[in-house]
Chain A
Amino acid sequence: MLAPEPWSAERAAEVIDRHRARPGPLLPLLHELQEVFGCIPDQAIRPVAEALNLSRAEVHGVVSFYHDYRRSLPGRHVLKLCQAEACQAMGCRSLAAQACEQLGIGMGETTADGRVTLEAVYCLGLCATAPSAMLDGAVHGRLTPGRLDLLLDGLT
């Protein structure tokens, strides 16, 4: 993963300008801001609202509605474990418990050393090779306790 850039109003303005004229600009704009800064920083809300002629409440409302948008930086690695029905049928609940125990955190939390953020995801479309996960954007299927161990061990 690319390391997130520190907040820069100029960099944000550059991203905003790239999207402001297109129809329905807010989601693609927020996606790119998060790609650049690793999250949607508080400082970003006002310039986005001003550029799109929205209230700050409206922008905040969109950011908080969608599960993908983060208000703070995640860990260096993000592990998403699918917790939907097809993966449940193949034992994803015990894999989640295993990951929580080994990392010492709950779902949706980040380890104290900032190493890993653990999240539940509801379906990666890998339902015939369940249970599945996404680690830093890479997909993994047919997970077993042993294979999850290997994934977790590789996170530095």
Chain B
Amino acid sequence: MTGRIFVPGDAAAVAVGADEVAAALLREAPDLSLVRTGSRGLFWLEPLIEVQTPAGRIGYGPVTAADVPGLLAAGLRDGGAHPLRLGRPEELPFLRRQTRLTFARCGIVDPRCLDDYRAHGGYAGLARAVSLGPAATLEEVVQSGLRGRGGAGFPTGIKWRTVAAAPGAPKFIVCNADEGDSGTFSDRMIMEGDPFVLIEGMTIAGFAVGATRGYIYVRSEYPHAIAALNDAIAIARATGWLGTNIADSGFAFDIEVRVGAGAYVCGEETALLDSIEGRRGQVRAKPPLPAHVGLFGQPTVINNVISLATVPVILAEGAARYRDLGMGRSRGTMPIQLAGNVRHGGLFEAAFGVTLGELVDDIGGGTASGRKVRAVQVGGPLGAYFPRALFATPFDYEAFAAADGLIGHGGVVVFDDTVDMAEQARFAMEFCAIESCGKCTPCRLGSTRGVEVMARIMRGEHVAANRALLVDLCETMKFGSLCALGGFTPYPVISALTHFPEDFAGPPLHAAAA
């Protein structure tokens, strides 16, 4: 049997040369059978290639195309010694400390091979769902304690129950794959590395609530994910895992990928629905909830990629196994993403409860620049900046809310001591101004006024008065906006002002801005 070698096809691995490494391997070692996988999520080691040996898979990284001849000469085929040899990836501390449920297969399987998916436990969740029936399936998801991983943290099972009970047909399953938050890439990794798990999760959702059609709304910035999903959907259709009689259960379900067009606000669920319908992505006033009046006016489940991709493992292993992990009202695991100026950036799936300090200092290894960590933004562009003083905060929906922050979609962006927090606050307002859908006044106008007020503070004009005005403006945006874009933009602004007031004192720091 020829040796198998695994090279990630994940966009982040490709961005640092994985395609060139794959091409070099094909050229130098045509006898090897090359498999393109997703990423394991250890991005500082990408491109991280693995070779199948009798002792399991052996990893090497970060590999460049120029390293390939030397690796082959050193006995890459048999896992031979080389300075880039990492040993078994599972033994690396970054992976060993994780509890991978949602990401169990990511980076291991071929995302375009259904047999590989099934050989690694795929479709066991759907099989159990079909044996339980729709009502008991729904109850399993409720019992698991799974909450929306997009950021809002609403209990997934309760949402499903509402849709199941809503009168009307057809019903829809919509997957929110508009992962626009900077510092987050877990949706992208799953879609590229294990797309069948999302298809299975959506199929289970459809079975549980009585929906026959699903849409995955993916942002246009993710071309690799779009391609992987379309390929996986075509394979699932051809093999009877999507279509009119799924796995001979009599249940019919199909999925279509819809591509966004570069609007951050379409990650807001009602704006996303308007966008699929072919309109400007403007936020709808609630009520009615999408569960009652959603896509095309029909009852609709709208869930984030990670929420849906976690459903198969909950069904396969039972709600209790999932519920028993975590802390407080945050049950199960959270795929945390370490990003920005961090030494060991990547995907860290762990039970809720790990502290911010452990994540940044211990698991992340501090900054990539080697300088001191000054601030950490958690939860994307609408999340708060945390100073070191709050590093004891455990990763948990309620604990972060109590610290005037949010965990959002689980992105953790690390900044070193060269960061200018007034500029970060100004950018938060600017981003809101660029991306505002324009429907409500506090967001549409408040964000532009916010940019102006920040510019005055940075120039040193009436600093105390403008700081008071900024706080007042943030209150208006927080309580008066229709959705989280305008409503949460105050989080990064106020947290920066509260925890780093020295940066809001005007010049001399900001003399250059004058």
> In whole angstroms, what is the CA distance A85 to B224 when docked?
22
In the assembled complex, the Cα of A24 lies from the Cα of B258 at a distance in Å of 10
A126 and B12 in contact, given A67-B262, A84-B182, A89-B414 (Cβ under 8 angstroms): yes
Query: In this assembly, does B337 line the interface, its C-beta being within 8 Å of a C-beta of chain A?
Result: yes
Interface size on A, residues (CB 8 A): 41
Contact assessment for B12 and A128 in the assembled complex, using a CB-CB cutoff below 8 Å:
yes
State whether A27 touches B275 (Cβ < 8 A). Answer: yes
A127 with B221, Cβ < 8 A, contacts A85-B381, A141-B16 known: no
Among B14, B263, B427, contact of A88 (Cβ-Cβ < 8 Å): B427
- Residues from chain A with Cβ under 8 Å of B380 in the complex: 85
Interface residues of A in 88-146 (CB under 8 A from B): 88-90, 121-130, 132, 134, 137, 139-142
- In the complex, per-residue mask of A28-52: 1 if CB is within 8 Å of any chain B CB, else 0: 1011000000000000000000001
In chain B, positions 425-472 with a C-beta closer than 8 Å to chain A are 427, 431, 434-435, 437
A89 touching B279 in the complex, CB below 8 Å, given contacts A123-B180, A125-B184, A125-B185: no
Check B261–A127 contact: CB distance below 8 A. Answer: no
B63 to chain A, nearest CB (A): 14
What string of 1s and 0s marks CB contacts (under 8 Å) between A65-98 and chain B? Answer: 1111100000000000000111111100000000
CB-CB under 8 A from A155, the residues of chain B are: none
CB distance from A137 to the nearest CB of B (A): 6
The reply to whether B183 and A127 contact each other, CB–CB distance below 8 Å, is yes
Which residues of B in the span 165-184 have a Cβ within 8 Å of any Cβ on A? 179-184
| Residue of chain B at shortest CB distance from A85 | B182
The one of A62, A67, A87 in contact with B280, judged by C-beta atoms closer than 8 angstroms, is A62
> Is B264 in contact with A122, judged by CB distance below 8 angstroms?
yes
Contact B368 A90 (CB under 8 A): yes
A85 touches which one: B12, B337, B377 (CB < 8 A)?
B377
B259 touches A27 (CB 8 A): yes
Task: Please indicate the chain A residues that have their CB under 8 angstroms from the CB of B220 in the complex.
Answer: 31, 68
Tell me whether B340 is interfacial, beta carbon within 8 Å: yes
- Select which of B11, B258, B368 is within 8 A of A139 by beta carbon: B11
A127 and B276 CA atoms in complex are apart in Å by 27
Q: Is A90 in contact with B340, judged by CB distance below 8 angstroms?
A: yes
For residue B15, CB closer than 8 A to chain A, the reply is yes
Size class of the B contact interface (CB-based, 8 Å): 35 or more
The answer to whether A66 touches B261, judged by C-beta atoms less than 8 angstroms apart, is yes
In angstroms, Cα B437 to Cα A88, docked, is: 24
Q: Which residues of A contact B16 (CB under 8 A)?
A: 129, 141-142
Q: Is B99 in the interface zone, CB < 8 Å from A?
A: no
By beta carbon, the residue of chain A nearest B296 is A23
| B263/A67 in contact, CB under 8 A | yes
Is B146 engaged at the interface, CB distance under 8 Å to the other chain? no
314-365 of chain B: CB within 8 A of chain A = 337-342, 345-346
> Any chain B CB within 8 A of the CB of A26?
yes
Interchain CB contact (< 8 A) of A137 among B44, B223, B419, B431 = B223
Inter-chain contacts of B377 with A (CB < 8 A): 85
What's the nearest-Cβ distance from chain A to residue B280, in Å? Answer: 4
**For the complex, is A25 an interface residue (Cβ under 8 Å from B)?**
yes
B264 — nearest CB in chain A belongs to which residue? A122
Instruction: Kindly provide the distance from the CB of A75 to the nearest chain B CB, expressed in whole angstroms.
Output: 18
Question: Which chain A residue has the least Cβ–Cβ distance from B437?
Answer: A65
- Cβ of A61 under 8 Å from chain B: yes
CB–CB B180/A122 < 8 A? yes
Contact of B15 among A31, A90, A140 (CB under 8 A): A140
Q: Shortest distance in angstroms between B170's beta carbon and chain A's nearest beta carbon?
A: 10
A59 CB, nearest partner CB in chain B, Å:
10
Chain B nearest CB: distance from A19 CB in Å? Answer: 10
Interface residue B188 (Cβ < 8 Å from any Cβ of A) = yes
CB distance from B14 to the nearest CB of A (A): 6
**Cα(A86)–Cα(B279), bound, Å:** 30
Closest approach, in angstroms, between the C-beta of B51 and any C-beta of chain A? 23
- Which one of A86, A125, A127, A140 has the greatest number of beta carbons of chain B within 10 Å? A125
Q: Name the residue of chain B whose CB is nearest to the CB of A61.
A: B280
B340 pairs with A130, CB closer than 8 A:
yes
**Does B251 touch A at the CB level, under 8 Å?**
no
> Does A128 contact B11, Cβ atoms closer than 8 Å?
no
Q: Which of A52, A62, A130, A140 has the most CB of B within 10 A?
A: A130
Q: How far is the CA of A25 from the CA of B276 in the complex (A)?
A: 8
Question: Is B50 close to A, CB under 8 A?
Answer: no
Chain A residues with CB under 8 Å of B279's CB are: 26, 58, 62
Residues of A contacting B259 with CB < 8 Å?
A: 27-28, 31
Query: Restricting to B263-306, which residues have a CB under 8 Å from any CB of A?
Result: 263-264, 275-281, 296
CB-CB nearest 6 A-B residue pairs: A128-B345, A26-B278, A141-B15, A84-B182, A66-B261, A127-B339
Identify the B interface with A (CB < 8 A): 11-12, 14-16, 43-44, 46, 179-185, 187-188, 220-224, 258-264, 275-281, 296, 337-342, 345-346, 368, 377, 380-381, 411, 413-416, 419, 424, 427, 431, 434-435, 437
Pick 27 A–B contacts, CB within 8 A, sort by A: A24-B276, A24-B277, A26-B279, A27-B258, A27-B260, A28-B258, A58-B279, A66-B262, A68-B220, A68-B262, A84-B431, A85-B183, A85-B381, A85-B427, A89-B414, A89-B419, A90-B340, A121-B221, A122-B435, A123-B180, A125-B222, A127-B340, A127-B411, A128-B12, A128-B337, A129-B43, A142-B16
